[in-house]
Chains A and B, each alone.
Chain A
Amino acid sequence: MTPIFSEDQLTIGGRAFDTRLLIGTGKYPSDDMIPIIIDASGSRIITVALRRVDLAAHTDNVMQHIPDYMQLLPNTSGARNADEAVRIARLARASGCGDWIKIEVIPDNRHLLPDGHETLLATEILVKEGFVVLPYTNADPVLARQLENAGAAAVMPLGAPIGSNRGLTTREMLQIIIDDIHVPVVVDAGIGKPSQACEAMEMGADACLVNTAIASAGDPVAMAGAFAAAVRAGRAAFLAGTGAVNTAAAASSPLTGFLYE
């Protein structure tokens, strides 16, 4: 079947994608599963993290499981301030994995909420250095505007705290960001079910990033496929234009007829 919106592409940093589902590589039972997840999800953008080599044990390099056609999105997880995020971004680029960077500055290990001020500082520095910057933030419309003005290639507000699977708890702020921001809005973190990803897309989000909800599913491969379908459905619904919400009922079938006459 021909897709209804075959020309509808997501463009970030000058690169166009036919898929609007971004995936992560954390928390899988085995990294061997990653290529199968990529296939099932249809995703073309994938996050990775940089860590010290464990010299006491064999450290598997996640890159060997990621096909060349994927757009790598290294994150700066572990950074607690802008300086550390900038340092990790430069290391990631030096490793040869391209110039995309997901800025993640998290000073608090309990709620894993990002530091907006430090994220903005890091964005300003890395944009000037030629990075394609995708900052992960709280769902703060003012911050999103500041990041856009600083040259972020996309903004990535959270739906709920990382790994919580709680869905779009920030719904109202997300809607303001979606309505106000011109660069792509990628809802990142907290999406626990395909229906929540679908809702974010129906609201007009440009994409969703899903890691934990797929990796921690009973069947991660099947869940990757379910998320792919949900994101496509939500996008199609957004483009189709959802009907008005009314407090009063409005009949779908004609009520006038012979019974009343």
Chain B
Amino acid sequence: MKTNKIQLNGKTVSIEDGMTIGDLIREKGLDPGTVVVEHNRIIIDTTDLDRIAPAQHDVLEMLTFVGGG
């Protein structure tokens, strides 16, 4: 099975080819509604998370809200 190496939150990970960002979020046990995602520095609308499959060398940032002052 073809895999793609991507940068996810600063770390290199391999994901199955065709796997969407939404799949990836759910695989990590997260609710897509609670994270905000940047794909190659472009902010991804929540409704597009299941339509974008990262390619080799893509960069993903997955962020969430935490306590802060």
A residues near B (Cβ < 8 Å) are: 24-28, 31, 34, 47-53, 55, 58-64, 74-75, 77, 90-92, 94-97, 162-163, 189, 209, 211-212
At the interface, yes or no: B61 with Cβ under 8 Å from chain A? yes
Pick out which of these stretches binds chain A: B15-23, B33-41, B51-59.
B33-41
Chain B residues contacting A61 (CB-CB under 8 Å) are 34, 64-66
Chain A residues near B66 (CB-CB < 8 A):
25, 48-51, 59-62
Counting residue pairs across A and B whose Cβ atoms lie within 8 Å, the total is 93
Do the beta carbons of A48 and B63 come within 8 Å of each other?
A: no
Q: In the bound complex, what is the Cα–Cα distance between A111 and B9 (angstroms)?
A: 27
A59 with B69, Cβ < 8 A, contacts A53-B30, A94-B36 known = no
Could you list some 7 contacts between A and B, CB below 8 A? A25-B66, A28-B67, A47-B68, A49-B65, A50-B63, A58-B29, A63-B65
CB distance from B21 to the nearest CB of A (A): 12
Is B28 at the interface (CB under 8 A from chain A)?
A: yes
Partner of B67, one of A31, A58, A91, A94: A31
CA distance A97 to B34 in the complex (A): 11
Closest-CB distance, A238 to chain B (whole angstroms): 24
Q: Which of A24, A58, A94, A97 contacts B65 (CB 8 A)?
A: A97
Shortest CB distance A197–B (Å): 14
Q: CA separation between A56 and B13, bound complex, in Å?
A: 13
Q: Say yes or no: A48 contacts B68, CB within 8 Å.
A: yes
Give chain B's interface residues, CB within 8 Å of chain A. 8-11, 28-30, 34-36, 38, 43, 45-46, 61-69
What are the residues of chain B within 8 A of A51 when measuring CB–CB? Answer: 63-66
A212 CB contact (under 8 Å) in B8, B45, B69: B69
Residues of the B chain whose Cβ atoms lie less than 8 Å from the Cβ of A62? 65-67
Nearest chain-B residue to A54 (Cβ)? B9
Q: How far is the CA of A140 from the CA of B29 in the complex (A)?
A: 46
What residues on B are CB-neighbors of A50 within 8 Å?
36, 63-66
Chain B contacts for A91, CB-based, 8 A: 36, 38, 43, 63
Assess whether B68 is in contact with A24, with CB atoms less than 8 Å apart: yes
A77 to B69, CA, bound (A): 9
Report chain A residues within 8 Å CB of B67: 24-28, 31, 34, 48-49, 62
B27 to chain A, nearest CB (A): 10
Q: What CA separation (Å) do A225 and B32 show in the bound complex?
A: 36
Interchain CA distance A92-B68 in the complex, whole Å = 13
* Contact residue among B11, B65, B69 (Cβ-Cβ distance under 8 Å from A162): B69
Closest 9 CB pairs of A and B: A49-B68, A211-B69, A24-B69, A25-B67, A95-B36, A26-B67, A94-B43, A26-B69, A61-B34
